[in-house]
Structure 1
Amino acid sequence: MLPWHQYLLGVLLVLAGMNHFRKPKLYERVLPPYIPAHGTIVVLSGIIEMILGFMLLNKNTQIEAAWGIIVMLFAFIPVHIYMLQNEKAAIKLPKWLLILRLPLQLGLMYWAYLYT
């Protein structure tokens, strides 16, 4: 049996990935212009997020999932920086929350690291 917090992270990732399909325009808006094919990137990142979440819920794949989650969260950092720099990409979130998201990424990476 996995610890409850591992189930929590896995379910949160699955739900976050599903949200990419519920609100794709929101995710497209936060992508920096130098990233090509916004629609494709949103779909792929949503699928990857869900796959990693499900993999984290399986003892046999949790290590690979945890490393994948860390890499994915690291790859999302430019999006958070772009949201800080661009008012339209900030989706009306307060500046303090956008700043807080950067160390939150590190916390989420550590959380995933616990399952490696």
Structure 2
Amino acid sequence: MSISRSTAGLAAIFAVSGTVHLARPEVYEPLMPSWVPAHREVILGSGVAELACAAGLLHPRTRSLAGWASAALLVGVFPGNVKMAQDSTRSRKTGLKVAAFARLPLQAPMIRAAVRAAREG
């Protein structure tokens, strides 16, 4: 079974993001809501989860499970994206504000792609 373009794209996004989570976790620390414990550990764990989802999406035998896991992961990190958008309003950097707010509506098509991958697997 071949892989759809949206599934391959989602796998690529997770692979890049997961790598950054592990290589430069400090990038994500300001995004963490205060109610989340053990920020560094959660960041590293989410990086591992993203890499696992990326790998799982690429193989037909694991695509369904990885698709559902990817959707859950995207829902789980959404509060961090909201916090990043809120925090960006205090910045003078227009590019940061645009990127932070642009991420929010992008979650919906990514979740749709994850669900589609789960169903095609």
Q: TM class by shorter-chain length?
A: 0.7 to 0.9
Query: What is the TM-score normalised by the length of structure 1?
Result: 0.87
| Structure 2 gaps, min length 5 | none
SS of equivalent residue, structure 1 residue 2: coil
Residue 103 of structure 2: aligned partner: 101
Gap runs ≥5 in structure 1: none
TM-score (norm 2): 0.83
Provide Cα deviations, 1:67-97, integer angstroms capped at 9, x if missing partner. Answer: 111111011111111112224997x553233
**What is the letter of the counterpart of residue 75 of structure 1?**
G
Alignment counterpart, residue 115 of structure 1, candidates 96, 114, 117: 117
Q: 1:70, 1:112 within 8 Å by CA — same for their partners in 2?
A: yes
- What stretches of structure 1 move > 6 A for 4+ residues in a row? none
Structure 1 distance, partners of 2:16, 2:69, is 17
Query: What is the alpha-carbon root mean square deviation over aligned residues?
Result: 2.1
**Per residue, is there more helix in 1 or in 2?**
2
Partner of 2:44: 43
In the alignment of these two chains, the number of paired residues is 115
